[in-house]
Structure 1
Amino acid sequence: MENADQALFIWLNSLAGNFATFDSVVVWVASDHLVPVSLSLTLVALWFTGANKDVRERHQVALFVALTSMALSSLVVLIINGFYERLRPFDVMDVTLLFYRPTDPSFPANSAAAAFALGAAIWLVNRRVGTAMLAAAVVYGLSRVIAGVHFPLDVLTGWLIAAAVTLAVFRLKDLVMPVLRAVIRVARILCLA
């Protein structure tokens, strides 16, 4: 598996360093700003939108699921990092590095897990918006491989962790639904929802 992971990394990373415009786009997409901020702004928009009160409440509950899933996915990644510290591609091989050198472990990719958790949670209640968010998360993860900061398996594992955690949180949300509805009611009273 490791040989396939490295071979796929070498192929994807070979796309970097050939065209300045392509490299600029990869750096822009792989940055800690474009996709995370875009996903966050999408969550804010969903918080306030919906054809009716019920749809808006579904979006608002999904936002709680998304944020909880992102936090728990990051916690799972942190726990794994405590037991297994995989070096980054630029630490173990000659790569075309388009990005700064992160100092945390490469496996699993926390950035991929966080972005995918947000998209997966929204996809469970709004397929159109969720699909766009998941597409952004996939492009984000792949761009970080092309930029030389993650192996493909790091990103794939981040996505799988996020998918599993998000499904679990979504299925357990009914246990805290009275609390979520109370929070949403208070937010509406304060004109925050």
Structure 2
Amino acid sequence: MTDLAFSGADVDGGLYTRVTDLAAHAPGFVDRLVADWTDYGLAVFAVLMLGAWWYARGQSTGRMAQALLAPVVVVLVYAVNDVLKGLVQEQRPCQTLPGSSTIEACPGAGDWSFPSNHSVIAAAAATAVFLVHRALGWVAAVAALAMAASRVWVGVHYPHDVLVALLLGVAVAWPLTVAAGHAAPAVERLRASRWRVAVARR
């Protein structure tokens, strides 16, 4: 496939270098916390989606449909992001910038950088949660920003990789989550079945 990528270094390579230099001189416990968050933090979004589902049990069928389909929305957004990655084929900054300092091992060739998978998943999940439960959604939004920042801090993404991923996650997940509300009739049928306990509070 033809490489359509612009040079990430020309966009914000300097900012990437400043962030990774800061990480290189940060206390070890800070880097460990960030590395743990970037590795395991996506699990937090699964918990937040579960929280949105639990809340939606006492809400309208449309709201419950959105909560139930939130994981599907996230998978669809991830698929869109993955297609874009394959089209752009931008190399990781730790591969293209000489002397890059990274906390995590640099992904190998062919593991494209733009846009960030972690960031788009986090943004999509946060958007879906926000449309179901505002308070949980704000928590998820802060967590999504932290996830995006962590990907630059550990050295595996340019800032523009995570920024575009955040915007893409919101832009695609928002209409998909709204559309998921149209599955309300299916939830209504579930509420009249033996599965009622999963989709209704009582």
TM > 0.5: yes
RMSD: 2.3
1:38 to 44, 49, 71: 44
Superposed counterparts of 1:40-79, under 5 Å: 40-49=46-55, 53-54=58-59, 57=61, 60-79=64-83
Deviations 1:17-63 (Å, cap 9, x if unpaired)? Answer: 212111111111111x1x2111111222332236x7226x5653332
Structure 2 residue ranges without an equivalent (≥5): 1-6
SS at match of 1:82: helix
Structure 1 length-normalised TM? 0.85
Identity percentage over the alignment?
22
CA shift for structure 1 position 135: 0.5
Within-5 A mapping of 1:143-158: 143-158=150-165
For residues 135 and 174 of structure 1, the distance between their equivalents in structure 2, rounded to whole angstroms, comes to 25
Partners in 2 of 1:147 and 1:124 — Cα distance? 31
Aligned-partner residue type, residue 76 of structure 1: V
Structure 1 runs of 4+ aligned residues shifted over 6 Å read none
Q: Residues 187 and 44 of structure 1: is their aligned pair in 2 closer, same or farther, counting only changes over 3 Å?
A: farther
Amino acid at match of 1:164: A
* Match for residue 180 of structure 2 among 144, 161, 173: 173
CA distance in 2, matches of 1:20, 1:130: 31
Please say which of residues 1-10 and 70-79 is displaced more in the overlay: 1-10
Matched, 1:29 2:33: no
Q: Could you tell me whether the CA contact under 8 Å between 1:111 and 1:141 is conserved in 2?
A: yes
Equivalent position of 1:138 in the other structure: 145
Q: 2:94 aligns with which of 81, 90, 93?
A: 90
Partner AA of 1:125 in structure 2: V
Q: Which runs of 5+ in 1 are unaligned?
A: none
CA offsets per residue over residues 131-189 of structure 1, 9 Å max, x none? 10011011011011010001111111111111111122133224433234435655734
2:107 to 102, 111, 114: 102
For the 8 Å contact 2:38–2:147, the answer to whether it is kept is: yes
The residue aligned with 1:81 is: 85
The structure with the larger Rg is 2
Instruction: Indicate conservation of the 8 Å contact 1:65/1:166, yes or no.
Output: no
Q: Which secondary structure does the structure 1 equivalent of 2:59 belong to?
A: helix
Partner AA of 1:72 in structure 2: L
Q: Secondary structure at the match of 1:102?
A: coil
Q: Which moved more, 1:113-122 or 1:63-72?
A: 63-72
